[in-house]
Homo-oligomer: A and B are copies of this chain.
Amino acid sequence: MSLNFRIVLVEPIYQGNVGSVARVMKNFGFSDLALVNPCPLEGEARAMASHARDLLENATIAESIEEAVAGANLLVGTTGITGTKFDEHVRIPAHIPRDVKKKFEGYSGTIALLFGREDKGFTKDELGMMDMILTIPTSQKYPVMNLSHAVAVILYELSDVQAGETPLADPFDIRLLMEHFSQVLEDIEYPAHKMEKTELMLKRIFGRACLIPREVQTLRGVLRRIQRHLVPKNKND
């Protein structure tokens, strides 16, 4: 298939979980594993990986999320906690695995699926990096899943996604688009206290829209044209 899913574990603390993740990846036919500052991986990791030790040995070890997701077109962060009062906007909207799968249909590219620390999940800044937030619908009574169980459920769902030939936009071009939007917001004197939330909202809208290269270029053209039609700042004073 022309969609590659990279499983990224961010600072996992239990080596048994890392091994279990390797096993279930191989069960469902995935092989691209990246670990950001993992715990030491020794006998227990290999035991839990069982016949998927090769995945463990070939895993990319990275020192930062940026390094682990290099080249990925989309960053999808998984969280069991879908919005608390203080950080709602970084966790919403959260998509369920079945819907995320539908969004990817017909595309080609590399999608990074990120999983946070077993105890603390992602930091707010890390969540802000994600193009899409994924959550597994669980019981309110006990929503916190074991890491490898969460990976199992998501890979089960994604294992038969119908990939296609439509390329996902280049991550570098998307970053330029987001920076361009921020410039325009500044140009129109957008209120500073709303800036961060609105930038994040735009990122999430474009993230779940799975932009293609031409769309990014057209959007940038629109932004350039807007900028040309703005009243120059010194005249407006």
Query: Smallest distance from the beta carbon of A43 to chain B beta carbons, Å?
Result: 15
Closest to A140 in B: B29
A137 / chain B contacts, CB cutoff of 8 Å: 159-160
**Could you say which of A142, A143, A144 has the most chain B C-beta atoms within 10 Å of its C-beta?**
A142
Known A-B contacts A136-B156, A153-B156; A20 and B141 likewise in contact (beta carbons under 8 Å): no
A141 / chain B contacts, CB cutoff of 8 Å: 26, 29
Closest to A153 in B: B156
Copies of this subunit: 2
A84 interfacial by beta-carbon distance below 8 Å: no
User: Are B24's CB and A146's CB within 8 A?
Assistant: yes
User: Are A142's CB and B20's CB within 8 A?
Assistant: no
A152 / chain B contacts, CB cutoff of 8 Å: 145, 149, 152-153
**Could you say which of A26, A50, A145, A146 has the most chain B C-beta atoms within 10 Å of its C-beta?**
A146
Interface size, chain A (Cβ < 8 Å): 28
User: Are A146's CB and B23's CB within 8 A?
Assistant: yes
A139 / chain B contacts, CB cutoff of 8 Å: 26-29, 159
Chain A residues 123-157 with CB under 8 Å of chain B are 136-139, 141-146, 148-149, 152-153, 156
C-alpha gap A165/B207 in the complex (Å): 41
Known A-B contacts A148-B149, A153-B156; A138 and B28 likewise in contact (beta carbons under 8 Å): yes
Query: Smallest distance from the beta carbon of A82 to chain B beta carbons, Å?
Result: 14
A3 interfacial by beta-carbon distance below 8 Å: no
A51 interfacial by beta-carbon distance below 8 Å: yes
C-alpha gap A140/B47 in the complex (Å): 21
A52 interfacial by beta-carbon distance below 8 Å: yes
Known A-B contacts A29-B139, A141-B29; A24 and B159 likewise in contact (beta carbons under 8 Å): no
A143 / chain B contacts, CB cutoff of 8 Å: 27
User: Are B142's CB and A27's CB within 8 A?
Assistant: yes
A191-215 to B contact mask, C-beta < 8 Å, 1/0: 0000000000000000000000000
Query: Smallest distance from the beta carbon of A114 to chain B beta carbons, Å?
Result: 19
C-alpha gap A136/B159 in the complex (Å): 11
C-alpha gap A52/B146 in the complex (Å): 12
Chain A residues 6-33 with CB under 8 Å of chain B are 20, 23-24, 26-29
Q: Which 4 A-B pairs have the closest CB atoms?
A: A29-B139, A149-B152, A26-B142, A153-B156
